[in-house]
Amino acid sequence: MTNPHAPETNRSLPIALLRAREKVMGPIRAMLADVGVTEQQWRVLRVLDERGPLDPTEIADRSCLLLPSLTRILQTLEGKALVSRAAHPTDRRKQVVTITEDGQTLIADNLKESQRLNAWLRDSFGSEKLDALLDLLNELDQLDRPDGR
C-alpha cells in the first residue's frame, strides 16, 4: 500500500504539510532518538552552536518554538549538561544560554549523518523540485493572515 490516503485529503494544504513534514522528519527523529535528544532539543542545540550564546526569546524565534516549550526544553538540556545558563550582565530580566562542550560534541557527532539525510532528500526528490518547494513555502510564510496576527 504505497499511498493509502484518500484523494480529497491530498488537496488539503494543512494535511499535506503535515504528511510532508512527517516524511522528512521521520529519519531525523530516528537518528536523534539513538542519541537521546528530541527533534526540538536538536534544533535548540544547533542554533546555539551556530550563533553562539543567545537569550531565550531569540532562541525561540530562531528555532520556531514557543517560549513555554523552550523553558521546559532548556531545563531538560541543562539537566543533561548540554547547555548552561547565566544571568544577563545588564538586563536582569534576561539570561544568556550557552552550549557546553558536551553539547558541541553531540552536534559534531551527528552532523554528518544529518547531512547525509539531507543529501538523500535532495537526490531522491530532485534538486530543482526541492528548491521550488522551499521557495513556495517561504512565499507562503510571507502572506498576511486575514486576522492580521
Partner DNA sequence: GTAATATATTTAACATGTTAATGGAAAGAG
Partner DNA sequence: CTCTTTCCATTAACATGTTAAATATATTAC
Chain residues binding DNA by CB under 7 A are 22, 25, 29-30, 33, 38, 40-41, 55-57, 65-76, 85, 88, 90-95
Find the binding residues for a copy of itself in span 121-140 (CB under 8 A).
121, 124-125, 129-130, 132-134, 136-140
Query: Which lies closer to a copy of itself via its Cβ, residue 90 or residue 142?
Result: 142
CA gap 146, 149 in Å, rounded: 8
Report, in Å, the least distance between residue 87 CB and a copy of itself: 25
3 state SS of 148: coil
Continuous H helices in the chain: 7-10, 13-35, 39-51, 56-63, 67-79, 101-125, 127-141
Quick one: DSSP state of residue 8? H
Which positions lie near a copy of itself, rule CB under 8 A?
2-6, 8-11, 13-21, 23-28, 30, 39, 43, 50, 61-62, 64, 117, 120-121, 124-125, 129-130, 132-134, 136-147, 149
